[in-house]
Structure 1
Amino acid sequence: MGGAVGFLSYVAENAGLLLFEFYQQASMVFQCVLLAAIIGITLAIVSYRTPWLAGLTTGTASVIFTIPSLALFGLMIPVFGLGVTPSVIALTIYALLPIVRNAIVGLSTVDPSMVDAARGMGMNRVAILTRVELPLAWPVVLTGIRVATQLTVGVGAIAAYVSGPGLGDQIFSGLARLGGANSLNAILAGTIGIIILALLFDAAFVVIGRFTTARGLRV
């Protein structure tokens, strides 16, 4: 009971800071995933019609994804220093793989008969892509973006390692003074905040999927 009371007291006393760090984390995740989605979908559009290029694109993203997150953040320091820039770059790189892979799979598995029918109606390649292929592939693409977002929320906590923004600062500062006053409360506050953020993003994707996916394509 005392632990719960102490935690609630810590949250009440630091509510302003926690809300600010929560906003920082949410903003960072949103911007990184948006940037990764633009890059990833563009790469998929360029490569999905050419099997070897699609394999190269997915393979390259997969290799980068195997780099441990802490190591990737560390590699950013000599080039970009500390702060927001290395955090955004590292998180965007990590978010790319699920988006690129799902976008290529989604576009590659569109029913060829639908494409032939669109071509028979006189549509050019751009029209077929934007009016037929992308809408049909969208549920798979959106799933990739959703996975990338959840991944970025979690890995985003490590951005505190390079003085990045967000709730990771609560976790790292708590670990640095473990055993001291409110160290466990700081760790718990950061962890719970990240869980809440992940749930909110996931709920947002459920709503986005409902309003952007054709009724016949909804799972």
Structure 2
Amino acid sequence: MWQYLVDRRELIAFQAYQHVSLVVQCVALATVLAVGLAVLAYRSPRITGLANGISAIGLTIPSFALLGLLLAPFGFGITPAVVAVVFYAALPVLRNAVVGLAGVDQSLVESARGIGMSRWATLRRVELPLAWPVILAGVRVSTQMVMGIAAVAAYVLGPGLGSLIFSGLSRLGGANALNATLVGTIAMVLLALVLDVVLVLVGRLTTSKGIRV
């Protein structure tokens, strides 16, 4: 395996970069979309229930099935991979954002409104900062989850380490097939660990000292 890794280090490094880039960009986009939807939903119990239901149902959809359905409108390539990864990444963030915002102490919200803050200012300066640790927990879950889904996106010729894994699986028994599968899988696990550490550091830097656990 070591020789395989040395001989193909540039290709593996490039595919690892593609994988991380796909995951990071999709999770960032999913976080923006999910938090935006949560802001619209969390004040209404009915809409909150609907958002939680969509999140729960969405996570039951097999990634292979969704990618297959996306082939019709988008064809092969990066687009169906991005759509699928953003979809799955948004679901845990949406649920956590709704829970986090709904769980903010209403006395704090009323105090902010009482000193003259607008609804938008209260959301931006009180509710979102207090809900941020819960939202970030959802982002961490999403990041770990979509690392694997991004690999499955190689099914539609998406970028990343999935192509290395699929190449090895399709040639099991052949030369370097097992090496390709193991290198792709191990690299993906290591990248997931690195991203989780980065998100922990982001949480420490962006969470107010007064609400850190």
Q: Distance in 2 between matches of 1:47 and 1:186?
A: 45
Moved over 6 A (4+): none
Q: Which moved more, 1:201-210 or 1:60-69?
A: 60-69
Alignment-mate amino acid for residue 39 of structure 1: L
Instruction: For structure 2, list consecutive stretches of 5 or more residues without a partner in the other structure.
Output: none
| Shift of residue 97, structure 1, vs aligned partner | 1.2
Q: Distance in 2 between the 1:180 and 1:19 partners?
A: 23
- CA RMSD after TM alignment: 0.7
Q: Could you tell me the percent identity over the aligned residues?
A: 54
Asked if 1:89 is matched to 2:64, the reply is: no
1:183 aligned residue: 177
User: Is residue 2:98 matched to residue 1:104?
Assistant: yes
Give the paired residue count. 213
Deviation of the 1:175 alpha carbon: 0.6
- CA distance in 2 between counterparts of 1:85 and 1:218 reads 38
SS in 2 for 1:107: helix
For 1:158, give the aligned amino acid.
V
CA distance in 1, matches of 2:129, 2:83: 29
SS in 1 for 2:160: coil
The answer to whether 1:39 aligns with 2:57 is no
TM-score (norm 2): 0.98
Could you say which residue in structure 1 is the equivalent of 2:119?
Answer: 125
Give the SS at the match of 1:122: coil
The 1-side partners of 2:121 and 2:72 are apart by 45
- 1:146 aligned residue: 140
Q: Which amino acid is the alignment partner of residue 3 of structure 2?
A: S
Q: Which residue of 2 is the match for residue 205 of structure 1?
A: 199
User: TM-score normalised to the size of structure 1?
Assistant: 0.96
CA shift digits 1:102-160 (9 cap, x unpaired): 00000000001101110110111001000000000000001111111111111111011
Residue equivalent to 2:16:
22
d(CA) in 1 for partners of 2:209, 2:4: 46
Q: In structure 2, give the amino acid aligned to 1:214.
A: S
Consecutive unaligned residues in structure 1, runs of 5 or more = 1-6
Q: How far is the alpha carbon of 1:79 from its aligned partner? A: 1.2
- Counterparts of 1:83 and 1:11, CA distance in 2: 26
Q: Residue deviations 1:56-115, cap 9 Å, x none? A: 122123222211111111111111101100000001111111100000000000001101
Amino acid at match of 2:123: L
